[in-house]
C-alpha cells in the first residue's frame, strides 16, 4: 500500500474515524466547521454529495499535499429528510415515523487531492427495515442518550441495532461511511488499500 500524501478525514464523527481505521490507512482528523446549508429543490443524493463536498473543500484549503475525505449522511423516509434530532421530543417523533417501515440511508462522500485539485464525489444508498417499536421501547432508547447526535435518531452500531430487522446494502454506509465504495474511489487517487 503506497501512501505518500497525508490523508485527512474532515469529520468529527467517531464512527467515521472508526470505519476508516479498519482500512489500516494512516490519517489525521480535522473537523470541518462549515455551515451545512443546501440549495432549495435539491434531491437527497444531491444534498449528501453537496454537503460532503462543502466539508471537504472547507478543510482542503488548509493543506498543500493531502487527500481530504469528507462525508455526510441522511436518513430519508418517503421523501422526508431526517437529520440529527434537536431534542428528545424530536427524536421521539423521528423514531415513531420510522417504526415498522423501511427507509433509506444515503451517505455522500468527497475526496479531494489538494496538490492537483482533483475531486470526486459519490453517494451510496442502503435500505434499513425497522421493526414496529412500542412507546416504551422508544422511551427507553431515548433515555439511553444514543439517538441525540445521529441522523434519523438512531445508531445501527449501538442499541439502535435492536430496532433494525434487516438492511439491504453497505452496513458501513448506515454507520456513516460506505467503506466498499470509498476504497474503490481511493484507487483513483493512487491509494490501493488491499495491495
Residues 72, 90, 136, 170: which is the catalytic one?
72
Write b or e for each residue in 78-116: b if 16 or more Cβ atoms lie within 10 A of its Cβ, otherwise e: eeeebbbbeeeebbbebbebbbeeebbbbbbbbbbbbee
What lies within 8 Å, CB to CB, of 185 at 6+ separation is: 109, 111, 120, 122
Tell me whether residue 30 is one of the annotated catalytic residues: no
Instruction: Please list the alpha-helical segments (H only) found in the chain.
Output: 14-21, 44-60, 88-98, 135-143, 171-175, 179-187
Q: How far apart are CA 195 and CA 193, in angstroms?
A: 6
What lies within 8 Å, CB to CB, of 45 at 6+ separation is: 106, 108, 123, 125
Between the alpha carbon of residue 118 and those of residues 32, 49, 53, 133, the distances in Å are 19, 16, 12, 45
Going by their DSSP bridges, the two strands 102-113 and 118-130 should be labelled as antiparallel
Residues identified as active-site: 72
Amino acid at each position: 500500500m503506497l501512501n505518500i500524501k497525508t490523508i485527512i478525514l474532515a469529520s468529527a464523527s467517531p464512527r467515521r474515524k472508526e470505519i476508516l481505521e479498519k482500512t489500516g490507512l494512516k490519517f489525521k482528523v480535522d473537523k470541518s466547521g462549515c455551515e451545512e446549508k443546501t440549495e432549495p429543490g435539491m434531491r437527497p443524493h444531491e444534498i449528501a454529495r453537496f454537503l460532503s463536498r462543502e466539508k471537504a473543500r472547507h478543510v482542503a484549503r488548509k493543506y498543500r499535499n493531502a487527500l481530504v475525505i469528507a462525508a455526510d449522511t441522511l436518513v430519508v423516509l418517503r421523501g422526508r429528510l431526517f437529520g440529527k434530532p434537536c431534542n428528545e421530543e424530536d427524536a421521539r417523533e423521528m423514531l415513531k415515523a420510522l417504526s415498522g417501515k423501511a427507509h433509506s440511508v444515503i451517505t455522500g462522500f468527497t475526496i479531494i487531492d489538494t496538490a492537483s485539485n482533483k475531486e470526486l464525489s459519490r453517494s451510496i444508498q442502503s435500505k434499513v427495515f425497522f421493526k414496529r417499536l412500542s412507546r416504551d421501547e422508544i422511551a427507553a432508547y431515548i433515555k439511553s442518550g444514543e439517538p441525540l447526535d445521529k441522523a434519523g435518531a438512531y445508531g445501527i452500531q449501538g442499541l439502535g441495532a435492536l430496532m433494525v430487522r434487516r438492511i439491504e446494502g453497505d452496513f458501513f454506509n448506515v454507520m456513516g461511511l460506505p467503506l466498499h465504495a470509498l476504497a474503490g474511489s481511493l484507487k483513483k487517487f493512487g491509494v490501493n488499500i488491499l495491495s
